[in-house]
Structure 1
Amino acid sequence: MEQTHDSSGRLARFVDSHPVVAFFAVAFAYSWAVFGVLFAAVGSETLGDSRLWQIPFAWGPLAGALVVGHVRHGDARTWLESVADPRTGLRWYALAAVVAFLYADAGHVAAALAGVAVTPLPLEDVAFDFAVTLAVAGSIEEFGWRGFAQPHLQERYDALRGAIVVGVAVGIWHYPWLLLAGEGYEEAGIGALLALPFLMVLMAVIFAWLFNGSGGAIPVVMLGHAVFNATPAFEFVADGPGWAAALGLLVWLGLLVGLPLVFGREYLAPRSPGTLFSGKES
């Protein structure tokens, strides 16, 4: 009995001393366990043809934040209520939606302005993907990635380095997806092992800007995540121009370079997110 108490005490001390490491451990363990059980139960092809599994998979980062918060403070509700507060400037919601939209659709918009034929995808499909992501799937990840990991890393590093750490971790967290057949995953190849962290670093820097700039409002970043997952909202009627496919990526690369230059590396934003949102005790 005493040995069990000592073990739990050591675990609590480790979590208290290394909250970000503990958070990543729980987030990865939860999500990868969900994937592993479903993969073993139904197989690669069946799992790849469905996206329902992505809902419980996406809850890992929130679970990690709640577990670490409970171990450290006995109650994570105060943190959850603070980051879930939607009150911030409306411009941050607009920026989140526009920037996320541009990644997949900047090329379609620019090509349409140049006279290339573009057609919208079915509105009901885009709206469904947006609603599911926002309510129960990918956007829920943001409570962990931006609501917990980013501000805690900003206690020790500047926001830029913190975002890079988060982005690499999020990219690796997605690696089980590469085991799937269907949905094009089997064609991703070895390059996806590098492409996923690279794309997630771009997203992490932009989302750190949105999070810090909005004063730590997770609903802003959740909106951006939902728009990102629901797009593209358009497609070319015939083959589009070669430059269009890369335009959204170039926009995000421009933000990767421009945000630190304009706002500095410390917060990537016009202001500090505040003590509560930087992971410090208030």
Structure 2
Amino acid sequence: MSREHGSRSLVAFFSLSFLIGWGALALLLVFADQLEPHFGPPSGGHPIFVLAVYSPAIAALVLVARRGGLAALGGYLRRLTLWRMPAAWWLFLLLGIPALKYLSAAFNGTAGEFPFSPWYGVLAALLPVLLLGPVEEIGWRGYALPLLQRRFTPLVASLILGALWGLWHLPAFLLGGTVQSQWSFGAFLIGALALSVLMTPMFNAARGSILIPALFHFQLNGPAWPDGQPWENYVFAAAAVVMVLWKRDAFLSRDGAVTDLMAPAR
């Protein structure tokens, strides 16, 4: 069934993601005064902002269900249960990302900062972070990356996806009350390209797992890490260059690239 999802499906996915995501944030920008009495001021937890964040997942699930119904959705979402990958990748996911975040904060002069007092306040912040950004990966890495890898090498697919992923965030930079409104979009776009490259070999090593990119995304947004903006974009870009040089055979060859939307047979 998944082979029925071709180039047109990829265009449909990006179109839906941008239409829902940008459309929701446009409503929030244009009708902020009218919406505020009902939903509060614009913020990362605003219901319409959450709808925008979920747009890639919504687009992917709609397209999978439209093609194959509930059975296809089940096969697609079973990729959330795939967790096996080489131990080195798990070390990078669990320890490497925090290390790069702290290195970025060191360049930024904020490595000693901890944004919660008392410390256990971080526990309450974990759930919202888990339920926002990581959900995007149901669409970005879950749907778009396998289809892109049918046509391009993992490196090119990563860069295309990273560029569109970064561009999709643009309205959040125009919306007061969001974290992105305090950042530089140009630096963020460099970071999006880098992070997309870093996620791809882990995704392929885990046989197309959606769980692994979601955990990667969760680590990036981890509330316990000190603020490393804008340095973290450049640090992750340097890490991506090293990764491509180290794993160049995997990045430049389509052998081993996951192209199926359904969970592999056990």
1:41 corresponding residue in structure 2:
31
Matches within 5 A, 1:203-242: 203-231=195-223, 233-234=225-226
Cα distance in 2 for partners of 1:143, 1:83 equals 9
Cα distance in 2 for partners of 1:180, 1:275 equals 36
Query: 1:260 deviation in Å?
Result: 2.1
Cα distance in 2 for partners of 1:93, 1:83 equals 17
2:93 corresponding residue in structure 1:
96
2:67 aligned to which of 65, 72, 76: 72
Aligned to 2:82, the other structure's residue is in SS state: coil
Query: 1:147 deviation in Å?
Result: 0.9
Matches within 5 A, 1:5-84: 17-43=7-33, 47-53=41-47, 54-75=49-70, 76-84=72-80
User: Which stretch shows the higher mean deviation, 118-127 or 164-173?
Assistant: 118-127
Query: 1:70 deviation in Å?
Result: 2.4
Aligned to 2:83, the other structure's residue is in SS state: coil
Q: Name the TM-score, length of structure 1 as normaliser.
A: 0.73
Aligned to 1:142, the other structure's residue is in SS state: helix
1:261 aligns with 2:245: yes
1:150 corresponding residue in structure 2:
145
Closer, same or farther: CA 37–111 of 1 in aligned 2, 3 Å: closer
Deviations 1:4-46 (A, max 9, x none): xxxxxxxxxx975511111001111112222223333334996
1:172 aligns with 2:162: no
1:132 corresponding residue in structure 2:
128
Closer, same or farther: CA 65–231 of 1 in aligned 2, 3 Å: same
Cα distance in 2 for partners of 1:79, 1:33 equals 30
Cα distance in 1 for partners of 2:150, 2:30 equals 40
1:197 aligns with 2:177: no
Query: 1:161 deviation in Å?
Result: 0.6
Query: 1:165 deviation in Å?
Result: 0.8
Aligned to 2:150, the other structure's residue is in SS state: coil
Asked if the contact 2:145/2:157 (under 8 Å) is kept, the reply is yes
Asked if the contact 2:42/2:176 (under 8 Å) is kept, the reply is yes
RMSD of equivalent CA atoms: 3.6
The one-letter code matched in structure 1 to 2:18 is F
Asked if the contact 2:59/2:139 (under 8 Å) is kept, the reply is yes
Count of residues in Structure 1 that have an aligned counterpart in Structure 2: 252
Query: 1:171 deviation in Å?
Result: 1.1
Aligned to 2:129, the other structure's residue is in SS state: helix
Cα distance in 1 for partners of 2:7, 2:225 equals 44
1:8 corresponding residue in structure 2:
none
Closer, same or farther: CA 38–217 of 1 in aligned 2, 3 Å: same
Closer, same or farther: CA 245–85 of 1 in aligned 2, 3 Å: closer
Query: 1:247 deviation in Å?
Result: 6.3
**Structure 1 residues without counterparts, runs of 5 or longer:** 1-13, 236-243
Runs of 4+ with >6 A deviation: 109-112, 244-247
Asked if the contact 2:18/2:55 (under 8 Å) is kept, the reply is yes
Aligned to 1:163, the other structure's residue is in SS state: helix
Q: Name the TM-score, length of structure 2 as normaliser.
A: 0.77
Deviations 1:83-124 (A, max 9, x none): 211331473444223333234322457999xxx982433144
The one-letter code matched in structure 2 to 1:81 is L
User: Which stretch shows the higher mean deviation, 40-49 or 152-161?
Assistant: 40-49
Cα distance in 2 for partners of 1:117, 1:40 equals 38
Cα distance in 2 for partners of 1:56, 1:179 equals 17
Cα distance in 1 for partners of 2:263, 2:249 equals 18
Query: 1:273 deviation in Å?
Result: 4.8
**Structure 2 residues without counterparts, runs of 5 or longer:** none
